[in-house]
Amino acid sequence: MTISYTHDDAVERFLPEASLLIGDERLLVGSAGSMAKINPTTGSELGTFLLAGAEEVDAAVAAAKGAFPAWRDTSPSERRRILNRIADLLEANAEQLTVVHALESGVPLSRAYGVAMPVDQFRYYAGWSDKIGGELAPIYPSAGFDYIKYEPYGVIGALLTWNGPLATAALKVAPALAAGNTVVMKPAELAPFAAIRFAEICLEAGLPPGVLNLVTGGPETGEAIVRHPDVAKITFTGGLLTARKILAAAAETITPVVMELGGKSANIVFADADPVSSAATAAMFLLGTGQGCMLPTRLLLQDSIYDRFIEELVTSVEELRIGDPLDQATEVGPVITAGARDRILGVVDRAKTENAGQLLTGGASLDSNGYYVTPTIFGDVDHTSSLAQDEVFGPVLSVIRFSEEDEAITKANSTSFGLAGYIHTRDVARAHRVADRLEAGFISVNGMNPMPATTPFGGIKNSGFGREGGRAGIEEFLHLKNVYVALD
Q: Determine the 3-state secondary structure of 213 from DSSP.
A: strand
Cis check: omega of the bond before 256, within 30 degrees of 0: no
Q: Determine the 3-state secondary structure of 139 from DSSP.
A: coil
Tell me, what's the pLDDT at 111?
Answer: 84
Is 131 an annotated catalytic residue?
A: no
Determine contact, residues 354/382, Cβ cutoff 8 Å: no
DSSP state of 220: H
Measured CA to CA, the distance from residue 407 to residue 413 in angstroms comes to 10
In 10 A of CB 54, how many CB atoms?
A: 15
Transcribe 158-179 into DSSP letters: EE--SSSHHHHHHHHHHHHHHT
Longest dimension (CA), the chain: 82
pLDDT in tens, 426-441: 999 999 999 999 999 9
DSSP state of 230: T
- Using a 10 angstrom Cβ sphere, with 0-12 exposed, 13-18 middle and 19 or more buried, the burial of residue 414 is middle
Measured CA to CA, the distance from residue 399 to residue 311 in angstroms comes to 12
Is 17 an annotated catalytic residue?
A: no
Q: Which helix (H) or strand (E) holds 268?
A: strand 266-269
| 3-state secondary structure labels for all residues of 373-418 | ECCEEEECCCCCCHHHHCCCCCCEEEEEEECCHHHHHHHHCCCCEE
Tell me, what's the pLDDT at 488?
Answer: 79
Residues in the chain with pLDDT < 70?
A: 1-4
Measured CA to CA, the distance from residue 334 to residue 220 in angstroms comes to 27
Domain-wise residue ranges, the chain: 7-261+464-483, 266-452
Model confidence, pTM: 0.96
Catalytic entry in 37, 65, 172, 264 = 172
In 10 A of CB 364, how many CB atoms?
A: 13
Question: In the CATH scheme, what is the homologous superfamily, with its name and number, of domain 266-452?
Answer: Aldehyde Dehydrogenase; Chain A, domain 2 (3.40.309.10)
Catalytic entry in 293, 331, 391, 475 = 293
Calculate the average pLDDT of the chain. 96
Tell me, what's the pLDDT at 4?
Answer: 65
Identity at 59, one-letter amino acid code:
A
Catalytic entry in 56, 104, 260, 391 = 260
Determine contact, residues 183/156, Cβ cutoff 8 Å: yes
Tell me, what's the pLDDT at 1?
Answer: 39
pLDDT in tens, 128-140: 999 999 999 999 9
Instruction: Report residue 432 CA to chain centroid gap.
Output: 27
Is 405 an annotated catalytic residue?
A: no
Q: Determine the 3-state secondary structure of 219 from DSSP.
A: helix
pLDDT in tens, 2-61: 556 799 999 999 999 999 999 999 999 999 999 999 999 999 999 999 999 999 999 999
Strand runs labelled E in 9-141: 20-22, 25-27, 34-38, 45-50, 134-137
Catalytic entry in 200, 468, 475, 476 = 468
Q: CA distances (Å), 163 to each of 25, 149, 432, in order?
A: 28, 36, 31
CATH architecture designation of domain 7-261+464-483: 3-Layer(aba) Sandwich (3.40)
Determine contact, residues 282/267, Cβ cutoff 8 Å: yes
Determine contact, residues 419/262, Cβ cutoff 8 Å: yes
